[in-house]
Amino acid sequence: MAPETHSPLPLVVLISGKGSNLQSIIDACTSRQINAEIKAVISNKPDAFGLKRAQQAGIPTHTIDHTQFPDRASFDVALSRLIDQNQPGLVVLAGFMRILTAEFVNHYMGRMLNVHPSLLPNFQGLNTHQRAIEAGLNQHGVSVHFVTPKLDGGPVANRAKVTIESDDTAEKLAQRVLEQEHRIYPETIGWFAQGRLKLENNQAILDGHPVPQLEKTFT
């Protein structure tokens, strides 16, 4: 791969837990698989293991404990101020377990991505793997989407499908989905960094063409 000639895309990554997707992004940046640089990792939980991953990589970390704020809006204001101090070109939600206010989302419209463990728009919300198994499906997956005020409802930019085996448990299925998350999340960030991916008129546009969206068949 030829070296990139423009400056790396500055990222701010938001986490709440283990940070395995964060690690995949760190690795992709370090190896120059993608032309991006993580400027800060922010967690709403002081004990999130992902903070240690970032610190080991020499990335500045911050904690804003949501329990110390009287309401969702005031937390989002403080979070936004901290994000903006790092002047990111893209905000990356990597297991950030907070519902964000419309004001916050609109501030970063078109430059905030999330990864969700289902083939959106199916199975928005939590416990996606168990719900997919209980629905009797033979296919599940993961989606990377632009964040909009509708929870898990923004246009999908990239997805990967995973076959549901007859003996699958939610835990076994989750592990295989996670492997695909680690593959397509850095890939999607790389597209954005190259200017290939953008949000226009509430559509995810890749290489000048709308990314096909799936029909919703399960809630």
Instruction: Give tens-digit pLDDT for 173-205.
Output: 999 999 999 999 999 999 999 999 999 999 999
Q: What is the pLDDT of residue 3?
A: 47
pLDDT confidence of 5, banded at 50, 70, 90? low
Q: Rounded to an integer, what distance in angstroms lies between the CA atom of residue 12 and that of residue 48?
A: 16
pLDDT band at residue 2 under the 50/70/90 scheme: very low
Q: Report the mean per-residue pLDDT for the chain.
A: 96
Judge residue 49's burial from the number of C-beta atoms within 10 Å of its C-beta, 0-12 exposed, 13-18 middle, 19 or more buried: middle
pLDDT tens-digit readout, 88-140: 999 999 999 999 999 999 999 999 999 999 999 999 999 999 999 999 999 99
Q: In the CATH scheme, what is the code of domain 9-124+141-161+178-206?
A: 3.40.50.170
Beta bridge partners of 115: 144
Residues 144 and 106: their CA atoms lie apart, in Å, by 18
Neighbours of 206 (CB within 10 A): 17
- pLDDT digit string, tens, across residues 41-94: 999 999 999 999 999 999 999 999 999 999 999 999 999 999 999 999 999 999
Catalytic (active site) residue 182:
no
Q: Which pair of tokens denotes residue 169?
A: 């448990």
- The answer on pLDDT for 4 being more than 80 is no
Catalytic-role residue among 116, 129, 145, 182? 116
Burial category of 54 from C-beta neighbours within 10 Å (exposed 0-12, middle 13-18, buried 19 and up): buried
Contact 117, 177 (CB under 8 A): yes
- SS3 state of residue 163: strand
Where is 55: in which H helix or E strand? helix 49-56
